[in-house]
Structure 1
Amino acid sequence: MFDISQEQRQYLTLILCDRTTNSQLEVVPERGGIITRWRVQGQEMLYLDEERFANPELSVRGGIPILFPICGNLPDNTYTYQGQQYTLKQHGFARDLPWEHEQVSAENKTFLKLHLSSNEKTKTVYPFDFHLAFSYVIQGNTLEIQQQYTNRSSQAMPFSFGFHPYFLTQDKTQLEFEIPAQKYQDQRSKEIHTFNGKFDFTKDEIDVAFKPLSGQFATVSDRSRKLKLTLEYDRVFSTLVFWTLKGKDFYCLEPWSASRNAINTGEDLTVLEPGATCSATVKISANFF
């Protein structure tokens, strides 16, 4: 049995519940359409820095932020389109803007649908008319994010997209990874390393990108929580980024459609013709063992 309720906290919070499995999703449309909490069998799956979340001047560190129209950062935060230079900050603007929302009931499912459209402010940094429609669906132990990206411009629209989920963990040394890649690139040093299934969590920061990917799912087993998370993604997602900070109770495993700076290099960039729509799906499943 599904139901949706609303609570007016600092921001309007939408709460989607699956009563039969004790699963719950919380979404804050005003704060970038972000999923702030996901509970499975009453247990928290996501980390959220409440202090940063409460400050509208800061980007949210936690939940599942949305990345659009770029993933990662750009050199000097700039890109060039048709000879003109534009400024875009890290991960784009979708995670900072208010989204519209609606409740949908269909095929014995109840889910949240959120929308984001271009406006005069977005066009100063990204000169395209677009519409994004995301559906957040929970069924049992699985969260599904269905995405539609539509180009409403009269010219082809280049972009990349992805998610930045913050998964909760208390002991990173108890994490075991299965990632469909044999190597990764360190973001700071740019060095390529062979992946042996482990990370050195004594480092202050780990920020690496796995590419190319040989499969469409990755798993992380947290032995301290007896929890296995499976991340499944469409083929359009070319890159998985792993990021964490020492002393923080989270790790991020992020599906990106393209690497950093793709809007400048063109590598794996999605380019939509006028009037066209592309769709993508990301699923996260939580299983206790």
Structure 2
Amino acid sequence: MYSITSFPQPYLTYLLKDEQSGAEAEIVPERGGILTRWRMDGPPGRAEHDGEEILYMDEERFLDPSLTVRGGIPILFPICGNLPENTYSHAGQRYTLKQHGFARNLPWQVVDQDTEGQASLTLMLESNAETLSVYPFEFTLLFSYQLRDRQLLFKQHITNRSEKPMPFSVGFHPYFHVEEAVKPKLQLGIPAHELYDHLSKTSAPFAGSLDWTAPEIDVAFKSLSAQEAVVTDPVAGRRLILTYDEIFSTLVFWTVQGKPFFCLEPWTGPRNALITGEKLIQLPPGDSLETQFALRVEALG
């Protein structure tokens, strides 16, 4: 049995619940359509992990509407990452577009909810005067969150309502909770043999490990050999499995020393794609794009 309820504080929040498994997810439409929390019971025999938060959330930033949210699963559109000096040009005009775009900062509208076979909530964001001032394209975004047992499915339906091709990237920025002492014990199953370091702007071989002593890790995996990535946490006794459509061509791993999170982010294109054109989606006028990715948690056997 599945249910969807809502409560008003601090923002109007929708709670998706699988009554049988006890899994829960919370979504806040007005704060960028963000999924803020994902909870579930721990593996059998690990009662200390029952009701544990899978995601990290910086509550202070979340409560301040003037700040971007650091936590949950922010939506990235129409760019992933940042542009040089936060600017780009289109049709001879210069625009300012801040890091990760505007979708994570704007209010979304709930347009559908369903509890048949899953708990599903669909949100919509449409272009408006504010978006057109920084991104001159008319669009409609329909994003669905679907909770079922120990899995979250994220479906995207993107429509270009302009009379010209619409260039964009779309992605997600999940913050997964992990204590600092546990980070070096994480086992990374990322389907790539090379990484690009955003900080040093250099490429290096990847053999499954990262430099956990670094103050910050910010790397991109662009040449993916499969549509699944796994992070195993032996301390919590679970593995996190990320699956994604082929259009998600880039995975970004980010963490900061001293903060209890790591991010594993599926992007359709790398940083600066709006300028370089690398893996940039060009959606024809009137066309729509449908894509999805999923997160699943499994107990270690």
What TM-score comes out, normalization by structure 2 length?
0.94
Detail structure 1 runs of 4+ shifted over 4 Å in the superposition.
Answer: none
Q: Name the CA distance, whole Å, in 2 between partners of 1:162 and 1:40.
A: 24
Q: Map of 1:58-137 to 2, 5 A cutoff?
A: 58-105=67-114, 108-137=117-146
Partner SS for 1:91: coil
**Greater Cα offset, 169-178 or 28-37:** 169-178
Q: Name the amino acid aligned to 1:87.
A: T
Aligned to 2:47: none
* Deviation (angstroms), 1:180: 0.6
Q: Name the CA distance, whole Å, in 1 between partners of 2:23 and 2:238.
A: 15
Q: Name the amino acid aligned to 2:22.
A: N
Is 1:218 paired with 2:232? no
Aligned to 1:231: 242
* Deviation (angstroms), 1:83: 1.3
Q: Name the CA distance, whole Å, in 2 between partners of 1:84 and 1:47.
A: 39
Is 1:242 paired with 2:289? no
Is 1:40 paired with 2:47? no
Partner SS for 1:116: strand
Q: Name the CA distance, whole Å, in 1 between partners of 2:215 and 2:116.
A: 47
Q: Name the CA distance, whole Å, in 1 between partners of 2:158 and 2:118.
A: 22
Partner SS for 2:235: coil
Aligned to 1:154: 163
Is 1:55 paired with 2:64? yes
Q: Name the amino acid aligned to 2:89.
A: T
Q: Name the amino acid aligned to 1:12.
A: L
Q: CA RMSD in A?
A: 0.9
123, 145, 149: which one aligns with 1:140: 149
Aligned to 1:15: 15
Q: Name the CA distance, whole Å, in 1 between partners of 2:98 and 2:216.
A: 21
Q: Name the amino acid aligned to 2:64.
A: N
Q: Name the CA distance, whole Å, in 1 between partners of 2:285 and 2:183.
A: 45
* Identity between Structure 1 and Structure 2 (%): 52
Aligned to 2:44: none
Q: Name the CA distance, whole Å, in 1 between partners of 2:55 and 2:162.
A: 36
Q: Name the CA distance, whole Å, in 2 between partners of 1:108 and 1:73.
A: 39
Aligned to 1:182: 193
* Deviation (angstroms), 1:82: 1.1
Aligned residues of 1:32 and 1:97 also touching (Cα < 8 A): yes
Q: Name the amino acid aligned to 1:231.
A: L
Partner SS for 1:125: coil
Q: Map of 1:245-256 to 2, 5 A cutoff?
A: 245-256=256-267
Q: Name the CA distance, whole Å, in 1 between partners of 2:119 and 2:98.
A: 35
Is 1:264 paired with 2:247? no
Q: Name the amino acid aligned to 1:120.
A: A
Q: Name the CA distance, whole Å, in 2 between partners of 1:229 and 1:110.
A: 20
Q: Name the CA distance, whole Å, in 2 between partners of 1:168 and 1:106.
A: 28
Partner SS for 2:214: coil
Aligned to 1:286: 297
Q: Name the amino acid aligned to 2:167.
A: P
What TM-score comes out, normalization by structure 1 length?
0.98
Aligned residues of 1:103 and 1:110 also touching (Cα < 8 A): no
- Structure 2 unmatched ranges of 5 or more: 42-50
* Deviation (angstroms), 1:84: 1.0
Q: Name the CA distance, whole Å, in 2 between partners of 1:110 and 1:247.
A: 35
Partner SS for 1:128: coil
Q: Name the CA distance, whole Å, in 1 between partners of 2:113 and 2:102.
A: 26
Partner SS for 2:85: helix
Equivalent pairs counted in the alignment come to 289
* Deviation (angstroms), 1:106: 6.7
Aligned residues of 1:26 and 1:37 also touching (Cα < 8 A): yes
* Deviation (angstroms), 1:229: 0.2
* Deviation (angstroms), 1:33: 0.2
1:70-129 deviations in Å (ceiling 9; x for gaps): 000000001111111111000000000000013422753331000000001100000010
Partner SS for 1:173: helix
**Greater Cα offset, 164-173 or 64-73:** 164-173
Distance 1:114 1:20, change over 3 A: same
Q: Name the CA distance, whole Å, in 2 between partners of 1:116 and 1:76.
A: 26
